[in-house]
Structure 1
Amino acid sequence: MSNQSYGPGSPKSFHAYPRGEFDLESGNSSKVRRSKNPQSEPLKMLKSIGNRFYHFYKLHPVAIFLISLSFGVTILIVLSVYESRVRMMGYRRVDDLRVGSGSYPFANLRNLVMVAGHSIYTSNSCGKIDREDSWFLEPYQRHPGQAATFLSHIREGVEIASKDEGALLLFSGGETRRDAGPRSEAQSYWAVAESKGWFGKQDSVRSRALTEEHARDSFENLLFSVCRFRELTGTYPQNITVVSYDFKGERFAHLHRSAIGFPEGGFFYFGTPASPSVKEAAKKGEASVRVQFQEDPYGCLGSLHHKKLKRDPFHRTIPYPNGCPELKGLFSYCGPVPYPGSLPWTQ
């Protein structure tokens, strides 16, 4: 009797029954059922949905387009509402912190009186205010009587503010002249008012007279002062009064006011005359500037933009609109037509 080896080198094993299931009673064998792959089911379902969508699109393409458009618009509306709520919550948090820390020192004031600066006082003595050599003047400003016009603007701003206990007086103008050093137009005007004892209105005006020291042109005089008002009061002005030259009335009261969308009924302009020796030349020059602002209301293009860059010799960083977040869109807007977004005074 031979011994049969069953090791690795042994012959192939014999299968008593064919592969698959074998029915002992009937003697029949059946194929083994392969288990379904569970991972293929979602793919088949997606494929089926895709096929149905494709056939529906073939039959009703317009309906699919309208449904897709409606879905997209809905998503945009939801995102816009969400963004607005997040932004407003951020504004409220900032306002709450400021109110809690008492950082709105003029929360009771409601109206703005803005005096637009035109030069920088450079004399070491405040006793020479009405002399041209005490001010840094551009060539077109060097004529008799020019210094007196600056003094007139300061006096009128103080006078107007003294008649309105709810007004904040702002002198506006940045460090616009390199050779004048790091002195702002606004600080010059405030210092002149101080040296003059606020023209007899010190007790009623001085405590609510401040500066806006970044404006580089007339449009920024207005816009930046509105933002500065918001920084100091926590609200936006109900009424705005601008003091400058009489020949600039159209520029401020129409072009600049329209550019920021401020209501005409709450905007007032007080103009003083230019020096008689340059009155006609001033009107002619103003006509040219008005045309430029008509074409470029926000001074963000061409010659107006380049002029602003030249009036920032010390590269001062403009802090706005940090203090007036509701105007962020307006500050970043540049176009030939008025800003289309909502503003605090148009809501």
Structure 2
Amino acid sequence: MNNQLHGPGSPKPFLAYPRGEFDLESGNSWKVRTSKNLQSEPFKMLKSIGNRIYYFYKLHPVAICLISLSFGVSILIVLSAYESRFRMMGYRRIGDLSVGSGSYPFANLCNLVMVAGHSVYTSSSCGKIDREDSWFLEPYQKQPGQAATFLSHIKEGVEIAAKDEGALLLFSGGETRKDAGPQSKAQSYWAVAESKGWFGKQDGVRSRALTEEHARDSFENLLFSVCRFRELTGAYPQNITVVSYDYKEERFVYVHRSAIGFPEGRFFLFGTPTSPTAKEAAKKGEASVRIQFQEDPYGCLDSLHLKKLKRDPFHRIIPYPNGCPELKGLFSYCGPVPYPSSLPWT
């Protein structure tokens, strides 16, 4: 009979109360006790280690202090190294600027030569580059000999870069004139230099002459070109040379340079004269603009800001500071006093 009840086909016994959790005599449930030895073992170990450290400290307090100090310094050094490495990797990833494996197309160049553009070349024949009707001129620019001043800037920029094998030549200027069409000042200057053969050999200045095509005023000529330099080289320029009119020297050297905090001893301006017939009017107009920039160094308020909006007829999206992440704060800053935070060159 027992065999039938507990045979292969018989149902399994049912336990009404789990073993070890119910007392049949008292009718009370109780929990399985956990071994005290298993619970207290880790605490005993920690207490033992703590006691050893305490007794060692009593015997050798100076040694413990030196060991703790060394450990803390080591941790700080490791964290600092990882932070620097992460930051540099992050800079190289922004905008997917690198070519190949973490390299830049002009990483060997260290100086910036920037030619500020003043007009757009509109003629279909590059043989007429010295004529005023070949350029799109504002009313105040329509003076005899004005076109020749543009050519002077282009040629001087090329010659300065030719004397410095470590220089990157940038023609700067955006598509600021609606009637001139979607053509930038920078591209006009580069095309003129190319058509006249001023770049020289293929592996000469031409190979390191590029454009910055978003600037809408002189401050942006400087700031945007510095950012463009960072995009192309992976670093910031050691020296900056600006090619423009000589009457703009004070504006560039003292107002714009100060606004970006670039060292005066590493900043140079090569100025050329305007046409004789436009000299007086140019000086008068420059004095007015310089005062505006002295009151609004970053061109972000009132008349200077409105002027930039008018000089963007095609609503171009400015890519900066994507290529120069270290200058993000400077690009967003607006105030009457110089940018207060540190910069890569300060």
Structure 2 residue aligned with 1:95: 92
Indicate conservation of the 8 Å contact 1:260/1:338, yes or no: yes
Residues in 2 aligned to 1:108 and 1:208: alpha-carbon distance in whole angstroms = 11
Residues in 1 aligned to 2:326 and 2:84: alpha-carbon distance in whole angstroms = 9
Q: Which amino acid aligns with 1:263?
A: P
Deviations 1:189-236 (A, max 9, x none): 000000010164664200000000000000000000000000000000
Residues in 2 aligned to 1:86 and 1:299: alpha-carbon distance in whole angstroms = 35
Q: Which amino acid aligns with 1:316?
A: R
Structure 1 gap ranges (5+): 1-81
Structure 2 residue aligned with 1:273: 273
Q: Does 1:204 align with 2:204?
A: yes
Larger radius of gyration: 1
Structure 1 residue aligned with 2:243: 243
Structure 2 residue aligned with 1:52: none
Residues in 2 aligned to 1:91 and 1:317: alpha-carbon distance in whole angstroms = 26
Displacement of 1:102: 5.8
Residues in 1 aligned to 2:195 and 2:102: alpha-carbon distance in whole angstroms = 30
Residues in 1 aligned to 2:208 and 2:302: alpha-carbon distance in whole angstroms = 37
Structure 2 residue aligned with 1:175: 175
After superposition, where does 1:224-243 map in structure 2 within 5 Å?
224-243=224-243
Deviations 1:141-162 (A, max 9, x none): 0111000000000000000000
Deviations 1:156-186 (A, max 9, x none): 0000000000000000000000000000000
CA gap of 1:121–1:103, structure 2 versus 1, over 3 A, is farther
CA gap of 1:103–1:88, structure 2 versus 1, over 3 A, is closer
Residues in 2 aligned to 1:201 and 1:146: alpha-carbon distance in whole angstroms = 29
CA gap of 1:337–1:122, structure 2 versus 1, over 3 A, is same
Indicate conservation of the 8 Å contact 1:162/1:201, yes or no: no
Indicate conservation of the 8 Å contact 1:173/1:216, yes or no: yes
After superposition, where does 1:137-216 map in structure 2 within 5 Å?
137-198=137-198, 200=200, 203-216=203-216
CA gap of 1:102–1:88, structure 2 versus 1, over 3 A, is closer
Structure 2 residue aligned with 1:10: none
Displacement of 1:263: 0.3
Structure 1 residue aligned with 2:323: 323
Residues in 1 aligned to 2:251 and 2:85: alpha-carbon distance in whole angstroms = 33
Deviations 1:284-306 (A, max 9, x none): 11000010000000000010000
Q: Which amino acid aligns with 1:282?
A: A
Indicate conservation of the 8 Å contact 1:158/1:201, yes or no: no
Counterpart secondary structure, 1:198:
coil
Q: Does 1:257 align with 2:257?
A: yes
Displacement of 1:89: 2.8
Structure 2 gap ranges (5+): 1-78
Q: Which amino acid aligns with 1:188?
A: S
Aligned-CA RMSD value: 1.8
Counterpart secondary structure, 1:241:
strand
Residues in 2 aligned to 1:152 and 1:199: alpha-carbon distance in whole angstroms = 14
Structure 1 residue aligned with 2:129: 129
Residues in 1 aligned to 2:324 and 2:84: alpha-carbon distance in whole angstroms = 13
Indicate conservation of the 8 Å contact 1:187/1:211, yes or no: yes
Residues in 1 aligned to 2:85 and 2:280: alpha-carbon distance in whole angstroms = 50
Displacement of 1:266: 0.5
Residues in 2 aligned to 1:332 and 1:86: alpha-carbon distance in whole angstroms = 25
Deviations 1:257-287 (A, max 9, x none): 0000000010000000000001011001100
Q: TM-score, normalised by structure 2?
A: 0.73
Indicate conservation of the 8 Å contact 2:240/2:266, yes or no: yes
Residues in 2 aligned to 1:296 and 1:88: alpha-carbon distance in whole angstroms = 37
Structure 1 residue aligned with 2:43: none
Displacement of 1:101: 3.6
Residues in 1 aligned to 2:88 and 2:199: alpha-carbon distance in whole angstroms = 39
Q: Which amino acid aligns with 2:344?
A: P
CA gap of 1:234–1:247, structure 2 versus 1, over 3 A, is same
Indicate conservation of the 8 Å contact 1:161/1:169, yes or no: yes
Counterpart secondary structure, 1:271:
strand
Residues in 1 aligned to 2:85 and 2:289: alpha-carbon distance in whole angstroms = 38
